[in-house]
């Protein structure tokens, strides 16, 4: 993945001077296993950043024992070698390695499964706030030839197109005859993202007719020269092709804008995680998590093409499809690029929301908006009773208010819009969780 964004330093701050970490007498200081999306480049880059923050010298990467494995190596001023091992064989392998004591930290491009949670119970609660850490947001664009008249596709259509079930543009209301598929290769984190968010969720494999590419640039250029082409790519590689808006369920069409990926409203966005068992006694694991969440770590996230968890204010253009009261807010205020979401079936903030509270409070303080300059807007998934949906959405906003008040924020208003303006389909748990959200608006 290669998504490039500007980074604003409203992340959790780190001390100016790093506390020296102990150097093991033998073996690696830290072992990381799991996601290829993280482990191929982002994980090693964060490790390098931590090592340099620790004052290590000559920090570099070396090939590991096998494919998709590497070692990050540095030396202390006294000449002692420090090594961190990174193995990137897929998210599931990270959790298996934790169970078998072959890893200290699991990197995952999906949340831990219930079965894995139970399996790892002897190590503590892997869903606890300290154990589960969102380090970045990932996303991708769907691209067409610029001459293709289609501007919008939904996620179900995407699955059918890339599975080969829909094989002509005419079947989608377009023109051009047979659809030509362009996809990244199996080693690509971009492909991992697409497979996870579009194909696997519908039990569909990628069609064998798809042309596969190692290079993002080559894929994008191929689509831009093929009137019948369609592909998926990271944002910087749209190049001369045309990115289309994506719809999930009853959501509005959404272009792959950085702000919509940051809030996780855009359908083809997902979270990237570090998991550290509560029972862990490895100080390097905790230090890497803290470094990744800080301003230096999030700058590395952005530099490696993912969406950093920075907070900034953006203007939102009112649209006729928005409720009148929401349009009024959009005319007078700006929206922060973060959404608060909740644990499944709960009014409790999820772990990313708990992390984001610190970032939002830092933004509000630094911009002088502590006194009645913030409005919270809650949303929910569809219920049989619209009034119940509206009440629940306001209760979610009030849950965020309680946390902000602890930091001295005096709210201007709290609004609940129920199941209006969904950002995902309500037919699956993932969609309902995305729809249960609270937006932050500043005046």
Task: Assign 383 a pLDDT band (cuts: 50, 70, 90).
Answer: confident
pLDDT of residue 3: 39
Query: Quick check: 436 pLDDT over 60?
Result: yes
Q: Write the pLDDT tens digit of every residue in 183-204.
A: 998 878 789 889 988 999 899 9
Mean pLDDT of 166-177: 95
Please give the CATH number for the structural domain made up of 30-135+271-303: 3.40.190.10
Bridge partners (DSSP) of residue 416 are: 378
Q: Where are the domains of the chain?
A: 30-135+271-303, 141-255, 311-442
Does the pLDDT at position 255 exceed 70? yes
- 8 Å CB contact between 40 and 214: no
Query: Does the fold of domain 311-442 match that of domain 141-255?
Result: no
- In which band, very low, low, confident or very high, does the pLDDT at 235 lie, cut at 50, 70 and 90? confident
Give the tens place of pLDDT for each residue, 57-87. 999 999 999 999 999 999 999 999 999 999 9
- pLDDT tens-digit readout, 127-138: 999 999 999 998
Q: What pLDDT is attached to residue 346?
A: 73
- Return the structure tokens found at 142: 């769907």
Rounded mean pLDDT, 33-42? 91
Taking 60 as the threshold, does the pLDDT of residue 298 lie above it? Answer: yes
The CATH fold assigned to 311-442 is: 60s Ribosomal Protein L30; Chain: A; (3.30.1330)
pLDDT interval class at 384 (50, 70, 90): confident
CATH class of the domain comprising 141-255: alpha beta
Check residue 8 and give its pLDDT: 39
Whole-angstrom CA distances from 416 to 44, 321, 396, 419, 436 are 42, 17, 8, 9, 11
For 88, 225, 274, 323, the CA distances from 287, given in Å and listed in that order, are 20, 47, 12, 45
Please give the share of the chain, as a percent, with pLDDT higher than 90.
81
Whole-number Cα distances in Å, 412 to 261, 317, 375: 27, 21, 5
**Average pLDDT for the chain:** 92
Provide the 8-state DSSP code for 12: B
Sequence-separated contacts (24+) of 125-131 with Cβ below 8 Å: 125/278, 126/275, 126/277, 126/278, 127/351, 128/278, 129/351, 129/354, 130/276, 130/278, 131/275, 131/276, 131/277, 131/278
- The pair of three-digit structure tokens given for residue 213, joined into one six-digit string: 């590419």
Distances from the Cα of 226 to the Cαs of 160, 231, 245, in angstroms? Answer: 20, 11, 20
């Amino acid at each position: 993945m290669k998504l490039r964004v500007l980074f604003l330093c409203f992340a959790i701050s780190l001390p100016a001077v790093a506390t020296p970490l102990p150097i093991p007498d033998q073996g690696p200081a830290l072992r990381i296993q799991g996601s290829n999306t993280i482990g191929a480049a982002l994980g090693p880059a964060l490790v390098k950043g931590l090592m340099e923050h620790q004052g290590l010298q000559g920090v570099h990467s070396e090939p590991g024992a096998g494919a998709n494995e590497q070692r990050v190596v540095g030396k202390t001023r006294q000449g002692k070698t420090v090594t961190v091992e990174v193995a990137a064989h897929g998210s599931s392998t990270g959790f298996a390695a934790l169970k078998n004591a072959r890893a200290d930290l699991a990197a995952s491009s999906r949340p831990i499964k219930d079965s894995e949670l139970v399996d790892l119970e002897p190590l503590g609660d892997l869903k606890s706030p300290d154990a589960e850490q969102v380090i970045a947001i990932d996303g991708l664009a769907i691209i067409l030839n610029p001459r293709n008249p289609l501007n919008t596709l939904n996620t179900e259509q995407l699955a059918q197109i890339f599975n080969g079930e829909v094989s002509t543009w005419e079947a989608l209301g377009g023109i051009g005859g047979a659809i030509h598929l362009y996809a990244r290769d199996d080693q690509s984190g971009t492909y991992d993202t697409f497979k996870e968010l579009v194909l696997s969720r519908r039990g569909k494999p990628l069609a064998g007719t798809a042309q596969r590419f190692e290079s993002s640039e080559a894929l994008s250029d191929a689509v831009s020269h093929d009137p019948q082409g369609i592909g998926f790519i990271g944002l910087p590689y749209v190049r001369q092709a045309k990115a289309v808006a994506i719809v999930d369920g009853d959501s509005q069409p959404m272009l792959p804008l950085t702000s919509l990926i940051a809030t996780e409203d855009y359908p083809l966005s997902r979270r990237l995680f570090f998991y550290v068992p509560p029972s862990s006694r490895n100080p390097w694991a905790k230090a890497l998590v803290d470094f990744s969440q800080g301003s230096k770590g999030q700058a590395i996230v952005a530099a490696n093409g993912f969406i950093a968890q920075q907070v900034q204010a953006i203007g939102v253009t009112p649209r006729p499809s928005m409720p009148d009261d929401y349009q009024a807010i959009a005319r007078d205020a700006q929206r922060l690029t973060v959404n608060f979401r909740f644990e499944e079936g709960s009014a409790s903030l999820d772990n990313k929301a708990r992390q984001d509270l610190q970032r939002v409070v830092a933004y509000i303080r630094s911009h002088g908006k502590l006194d009645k300059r913030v409005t919270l807007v809650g949303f929910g998934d569809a219920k049989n009773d619209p009034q119940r949906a509206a009440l629940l959405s306001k209760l979610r906003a009030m849950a965020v208010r309680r946390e902000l008040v602890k930091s001295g924020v005096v709210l201007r208003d709290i609004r609940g819009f129920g199941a209006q303006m969904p950002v995902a389909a309500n037919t699956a748990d993932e969609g309902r969780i995305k729809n249960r959200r609270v937006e932050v608006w500043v005046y």
